[in-house]
Every structure is written in C-alpha cells, then in structure tokens.
Amino acid sequence: MTPRGSILSTAEQRRPVVTDAALRRFSQRGFHGTTVADVAGEAKISPAYAFKLFPRKESLFVAALDLCFDRILDALGDGADRSADRTPDGILDAMGAAYAELIQDRALLMLQVHAQSVADVPEIGSALRTGLARITMFAKQRSGADDAAVQRFVAYGQLCHLIVTSSIEELPEAWAEILTRGIRH
C-alpha cells in the first residue's frame, strides 16, 4: 500500500500542465489579450478549476513566466556544458548559441516581450526582474566572466529579441544589416 503523502494530488499533477498551457497562450496574445478561460481550454480543464489552481490571472501569468525562465536557464546550462572553449567568453558564446536555438520556438521569446509590456503590473514586474536576475547571475557564475562581459551578453540577447520580433533578419537595408551582422536565428 502506498502512503497517502507520496501520491500526487490532482492539483499537483495539473498545475504544470496548466502552466505550460499558460505559457503557450500568453505568448500568443499577451496578458491583456488572453483570458483564464483561454488557458483552461488549452489545458483541457474548466476555467473554475484553473482559478482554483491560480486564483488570479496575474499568478497564472507569473507561473508561465517562471517556467519560461526555467527553460532558458536549462538551455544556458546545456550550452555552457557543450562549450569547447572553456574561457569566459567561450562559455558565454555557447550559452548565447543555445539561447538562439531555444527561441527558434517563439513562445519563450514572445512571453518575455509580453511580460516587458506589462511590467507595470506589480506581480509581473517582480517576476520579470527575478527572472532577469537569475539569468544574469547564472551567466556570471557559470562563465566566470566579468560584469562588463555579462552585461554585453544580456544586451546581445535583447538585441536578438528585437531582431526576431521585428522580423528584420532578412531586410537588405543598411540599418538592418548593422543590427543583424553576425547574428542568425
């Protein structure tokens, strides 16, 4: 007989499924354009159950954003592990390449963009800052790079966001070529 405490409750089993559905839905239409009912439908549960798991839409968005940053950190870690060049710059470059691979699926990228657009919502702004802090400190600790190199790494990542979301990768104009030089997704 299995002890009762070792069996996951339905809520504990469903929370990750709903969080993953929230990441997909919020990445498509943002915080204001997505309802809890949209997420519930994606997760194949009732809106009432979604509210039981996440009492406010903000808490559901924050859970999705936390999952987004978890996936980013996993990818950065994998990139660092695969780096043949063990210098700080080499590790940062490998982490950046892993991130570029990750955001080929635009869901994680777009969720971050949507989070930035509603960072004035206190819970979301706090979660966004926490996620950025996690990425920054992970990059610094894992690479051993100095602060300036880590700042460039994060700034480069934001430039990648701009390039992808603005669809300027293939534009022939000089300004687009300046921004995209050496960057491919």
C-alpha torsion 154→155→157→163, nearest 10? 170
Using a pLDDT cut of 90, give the percent of the chain over it.
Answer: 79
Q: How confident is the model at residue 4 (pLDDT cuts 50, 70, 90)?
A: low
Give the pair of three-digit tokens for residue 95: 């982490």
Q: How many CB atoms lie within 10 A of CB 46?
A: 12
Phi-psi region of 159 (alpha: psi -120 to 50; beta: other; left: phi over 0): alpha
Taking only the tens place, the pLDDT of each residue in 96-126 is 999 988 888 899 999 999 999 999 999 999 9
Give the pair of three-digit tokens for residue 165: 């979301």
Alpha carbon distance 166, 24 (integer Å): 20
pLDDT surpasses 50 at 1? no
pTM of the prediction? 0.89
Alpha carbon distance 182, 185 (integer Å): 10
Mean pLDDT of 47-75: 97
Q: How confident is the model at residue 183 (pLDDT cuts 50, 70, 90)?
A: confident
Mean pLDDT of 63-78: 97
C-beta separation of 112 from 99 below 8 A? no
Q: How confident is the model at residue 80 (pLDDT cuts 50, 70, 90)?
A: very high
The CATH class given to the 8-180 domain equals: mainly alpha
Taking only the tens place, the pLDDT of each residue in 137-179 is 999 999 999 999 999 999 999 998 888 888 898 899 999 999 9
Nearest-10 crossing angle of helices 147-166, 88-102: 20
How high is the mean pLDDT of the chain? 92
pLDDT surpasses 60 at 7? no
Mean pLDDT of 125-135: 98
Angstrom distances, CA of residue 146 to CA of 49, 77, 128, 131: 47, 18, 23, 20
Using a pLDDT cut of 70, give the percent of the chain over it.
Answer: 94
